[in-house]
C-alpha cells in the first residue's frame, strides 16, 4: 500500500487556512494611540496617554537633538510588534519618522506599564524580529512604576523582562553586530513561515498586554545575516553609541543577576570597549569631508565623551582627544569688534582772543571665541578673548596774554584681562539656530599717563604728570552681523563700531554623502 506523506510546508499552509478564520474572529484588535507634534532644534516632548490602561509614554528631545523642524509621531501600538523576548509587557512603541539619527540622546519614559516595574525590566530598541538593543542610561523607579532610557535613533521600541538565556543570546548578537551594515534575514523556509503567520494575524489575547500578542516562539525566528549594498556601508556614530550603551545595559543586568555573573558583566564591558575602539579607529583613518565642523566634529565629540565615560586608557584617549581639540579650534565661532572714538577740533580763535585746539584718537579691537560645544547649551559662553586699545589725547589753550596757557596730553594702553559674555541665538526661517547678539562684560587693565603743563595766573610755570593704572569694566551689547557698522557724529567728533565675523561654522553645510 502506498502511503502519501504531505510536505511540511503544504501541511502548514493547510493548517493556517483551516485555523486562521476561527482565530481571527475571536481576537479583538485594539487601535493604535498616536500623538504628533512638530519639534525643532529647541527640543520638546511628545506624550501618549492610554486612558483605558493608564499607560503613559513620554518621549523627550533635548535642545539641539534635532537639526531641523521635524514632525515627530509617537505611537502606542494596539497590536504587538515583534516580541523578540518572551516576557514583553507592552505591544510596542514607535517613534517616527523611523531611522532618524539624533544629535543628542532622546529620552523614552514609560509610566504605569501593565506589570510593575522591576530591576530586571528593560526598554529596548527592536532592530528586527530576532534582535534587540537595550536602551542606554536606564533608570527604574519601582515605587513610582516608571522606567526610562535613552536612544540616538528613532524606530520601534519595546518593554520586557529578558531571561538569563535571552540576555546571553542577545548580548552575543550585539557583540557580532556591525553598525555599518543593515540587517537582513536569510531567505529560508522558516523565514517565510514567520512572515506568513504575521501577515495572517494569528494572535493570542494576553491580558498583560494592551491589545493582542503574537506569542511566537523565538526558536522559529530566522537567523540574522549582515548584508550591504551600494551606499549602505555607513558607520554613523549614533549606531555605534547605541551598540556601546546596549552592552553597558547588559553589563548592569548581569550584575543584578548576582555575583556569579561577574565574568559575564566584565565581558560586556570588554565588548563595549572593543566596539568603541573599532569605531574610533575607523573614524580616525577616514578622510574628513569638506565640512569638518558638522557631522565630523560631532562624531569626535561623542566618541571622546563615551571613551571617557567607559574609562578607556590614556593612550587610546589621546588620539581622539587630539583630533577633537584640533577640530574644536578650527570650528569655533570667532568675531571681532573694531571701535574708534575721535575728536578733531582744529585750532580756533575764541571770542576773548585765546586759541583752543583739541584732538583725540581712541582705537581698539576685541576678539572673542566660542567653542562649538558651547552652542549645545542655552546661552553659549565666550571662552577665549583678547583685545587692546590705544589712546592719544591733546588739549591746548593759549591765552591772549603772553605766558597764559594750559596744555594736556594723555597717552594710554588698554588690555583685556577677561571677558564674561554670552551669545544670544536667533532662529532662522528653517528653524535653525544662529548667533544673533553678544552681551559682554569687559574687564580692562590700563596704563594712562597724563601730562599737564603751562602757566598759571601768576605767570608761574607748572609741569606735572601722573599715571592711572586703575582697572575698569564696561558692559556692552553687539549685534553679530558680519560687516555691521554703527557710526555716530561727524568729522569733528564721533564714535564708530564695526563687527567682523572671522569664523562662522554655521555657514558650512554637511555633504549628504558624508558618513561619520
Q: What is the pLDDT of residue 377?
A: 76
Task: State the Rg of the chain over Cα.
Answer: 35
Residue 319 sits in the same domain as residue 349:
no
Closest residue by Cα to residue 211 from 312, 329, 80 = 80
Residue 352 sits in the same domain as residue 470:
yes
Rounded to the nearest 5°, which phi and psi values hold at 485? -140, 135
Q: Cell 511566537: give the residue.
A: 216
Tell me the average pLDDT across 400-421. Answer: 91
C-alpha 200 chain-centroid distance: 42
pLDDT tens-digit profile of 137-189? Answer: 999 999 999 999 999 999 999 999 999 999 999 999 999 999 987 654 333 33
- For 500, counting Cβ atoms within 10 Å of its Cβ (0-12 exposed, 13-18 middle, 19+ buried), the class is middle
Last residue of a domain, one of 300, 331, 362: 331
Q: Contact 516/510 with Cβ under 8 angstroms?
A: no
Q: What is the pLDDT of residue 432?
A: 66
pLDDT tens-digit profile of 74-87? Answer: 999 999 888 899 99
Residue 211 sits in the same domain as residue 139:
yes
pLDDT tens-digit profile of 413-449? Answer: 999 999 999 999 887 666 567 899 999 999 999 999 9
Residue 327 sits in the same domain as residue 338:
no
Q: Cell 542610561: give the residue.
A: 137
Q: What angle do CA 198, 204, 209 make, to 5 degrees?
A: 100
What is the share, in percent, of the chain residues with pLDDT greater than 70?
A: 83
Q: Contact 182/228 with Cβ under 8 angstroms?
A: yes
Q: What is the pLDDT of residue 185?
A: 35
* 3-state SS class at 171: helix
Closest residue by Cα to residue 469 from 445, 488, 490 = 445
CA atoms lying within 13 Å on the CB side of residue 312: 24
C-alpha 88 chain-centroid distance: 31
Residue 456 sits in the same domain as residue 353:
yes
Q: Which long-range contacts (CB under 8 A, 24 or more apart) does 12-19 make?
A: 12/193, 12/196, 13/196, 16/196, 16/197, 16/200, 16/202, 19/202
Residue 285 sits in the same domain as residue 218:
no
CATH number of the domain within which 66 lies = 2.60.220.30
DSSP string across 295-341? HHHHHHHHHHHHHHHHT--HHHHHHHHHHHHHHHHHT-EEEEEEEEE
| Domain total in the chain | 3
pLDDT at 195 over 80: no
User: Per the domain annotation, does 513 fall within a domain?
Assistant: no
Report the chain's mean pLDDT, rounded to a whole number.
Answer: 84
Euclidean distance between CA atoms 62 and 483, whole angstroms: 33
Residue 344 sits in the same domain as residue 324:
no
User: Per the domain annotation, does 252 fall within a domain?
Assistant: yes
Q: What is the residue range of 327's domain?
A: 231-331
Residue 398 sits in the same domain as residue 433:
yes
User: Per the domain annotation, does 168 fall within a domain?
Assistant: no
Confidence of residue 378 (pLDDT cuts 50, 70, 90): confident
Amino acid at each position: 500500500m502506498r502511503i502519501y506523506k504531505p510536505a511540511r510546508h503544504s501541511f502548514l499552509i493547510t493548517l493556517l487556512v483551516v485555523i486562521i478564520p476561527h482565530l481571527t474572529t475571536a481576537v479583538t484588535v485594539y487601535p493604535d494611540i498616536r500623538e504628533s507634534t512638530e519639534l525643532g532644534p529647541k527640543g520638546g516632548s511628545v506624550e501618549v496617554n492610554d486612558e483605558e490602561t493608564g499607560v503613559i509614554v513620554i518621549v523627550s528631545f533635548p535642545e539641539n537633538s534635532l537639526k531641523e523642524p521635524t514632525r515627530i509621531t509617537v505611537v502606542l501600538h494596539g497590536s504587538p510588534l515583534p516580541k523578540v523576548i518572551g516576557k514583553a509587557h507592552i505591544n510596542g512603541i514607535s517613534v517616527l519618522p523611523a531611522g532618524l539619527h539624533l544629535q543628542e540622546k532622546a529620552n523614552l519614559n514609560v509610566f504605569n506599564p501593565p506589570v510593575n516595574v522591576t530591576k530586571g525590566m528593560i526598554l529596548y530598541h527592536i532592530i528586527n524580529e530576532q534582535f534587540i538593543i537595550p536602551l542606554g542610561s536606564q533608570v527604574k523607579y519601582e515605587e513610582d512604576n516608571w522606567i526610562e532610557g535613552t536612544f540616538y535613533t528613532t524606530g520601534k521600541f519595546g518593554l520586557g523582562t529578558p531571561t538569563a538565556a535571552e540576555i546571553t543570546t542577545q548580548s552575543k548578537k550585539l557583540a557580532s553586530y556591525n553598525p555599518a551594515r543593515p540587517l537582513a534575514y536569510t531567505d529560508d523556509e522558516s523565514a517565510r513561515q514567520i512572515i506568513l503567520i504575521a501577515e495572517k494575524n494569528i494572535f493570542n489575547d494576553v491580558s498583560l498586554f494592551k491589545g493582542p500578542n503574537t506569542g511566537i516562539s523565538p526558536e522559529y525566528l530566522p537567523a540574522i545575516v549582515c548584508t550591504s549594498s551600494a551606499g549602505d556601508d555607513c558607520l554613523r556614530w549614533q549606531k555605534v553609541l547605541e551598540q556601546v550603551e546596549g552592552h553597558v545595559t547588559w553589563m548592569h543586568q548581569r550584575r543584578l543577576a548576582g555575583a556569579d555573573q561577574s565574568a559575564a558583566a566584565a565581558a560586556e564591558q570588554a565588548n563595549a570597549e572593543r566596539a568603541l575602539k573599532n569605531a574610533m579607529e575607523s573614524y580616525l583613518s577616514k578622510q574628513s569631508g569638506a565640512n569638518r565642523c558638522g557631522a565630523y566634529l560631532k562624531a569626535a565629540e561623542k566618541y571622546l565623551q563615551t571613551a571617557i565615560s567607559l574609562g578607556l586608557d590614556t593612550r587610546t584617549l589621546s588620539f581622539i582627544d587630539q583630533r577633537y581639540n584640533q577640530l574644536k579650534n578650527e570650528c569655533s565661532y570667532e568675531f571681532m569688534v573694531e571701535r574708534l572714538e575721535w575728536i578733531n577740533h582744529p585750532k580756533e580763535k575764541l571770542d576773548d582772543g585765546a586759541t583752543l585746539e583739541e584732538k583725540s584718537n581712541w582705537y581698539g579691537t576685541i576678539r572673542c571665541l566660542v567653542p562649538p560645544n558651547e552652542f549645545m547649551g542655552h546661552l553659549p559662553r565666550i571662552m577665549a578673548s583678547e583685545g587692546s586699545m590705544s589712546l592719544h589725547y591733546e588739549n591746548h589753550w593759549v591765552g591772549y596774554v603772553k605766558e597764559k596757557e594750559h596744555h594736556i596730553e594723555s597717552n594710554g594702553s588698554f588690555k583685556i584681562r577677561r571677558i564674561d559674555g554670552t551669545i544670544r541665538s536667533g532662529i532662522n526661517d528653517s528653524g535653525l539656530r544662529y548667533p544673533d547678539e553678544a552681551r559682554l562684560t569687559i574687564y580692562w587693565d590700563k596704563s594712562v599717563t597724563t601730562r599737564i603743563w603751562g602757566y598759571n595766573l601768576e605767570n608761574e610755570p607748572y609741569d606735572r604728570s601722573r599715571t592711572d593704572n586703575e582697572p575698569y569694566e564696561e558692559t556692552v551689547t553687539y549685534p553679530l552681523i558680519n560687516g555691521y557698522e554703527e557710526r555716530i557724529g561727524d568729522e569733528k567728533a564721533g564714535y564708530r563700531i564695526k563687527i567682523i565675523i572671522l569664523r562662522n561654522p554655521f555657514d558650512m553645510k554637511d555633504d549628504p554623502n558624508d558618513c561619520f
